[in-house]
Structure 1
């Protein structure tokens, strides 16, 4: 998917979140990266193959 030079990290790389944003929707809480990764504001991820990566931090409760 990536056409940048140098290429962005693939989705199986440990630094996969370093890929460039190609579609950002902060009002909805997600961004699509050029490697096909969907990242969410709660730090969760959705890989192109449908695999879910759970959020690494808990959501902050509004008091």
Structure 2
């Protein structure tokens, strides 16, 4: 007979319980330079990576923040277009 396990979930807000354990901590999910955090898991076949600050970055440069907010893709102009 299957008996479900009682799992207690950590409800601490992500800002108080950072995933980053690096010396010289990576930028937080709220920081402007949040994309500079280290990659902890990558799924190139699906087009996304998880950063140690909890941000999911997509190959089109869009982002999903730990609190559920989204950041629209923000690619700049192509390098060859700037030379013209």
**TM-score, with normalisation over the residues of structure 2?**
0.66
Aligned to 1:13: 31
Task: Report which of the two has the higher share of strand.
Answer: 1
5+ residue gaps, structure 1: 58-63
Aligned to 2:52: 34
**TM-score, with normalisation over the residues of structure 1?**
0.87
In our comparison, the structure showing a higher alpha carbon Rg is: 2
* CA distance in structure 1 between the aligned counterparts of 2:20 and 2:74, rounded to whole angstroms: 26
Task: Report which of the two has the higher share of helix.
Answer: 2
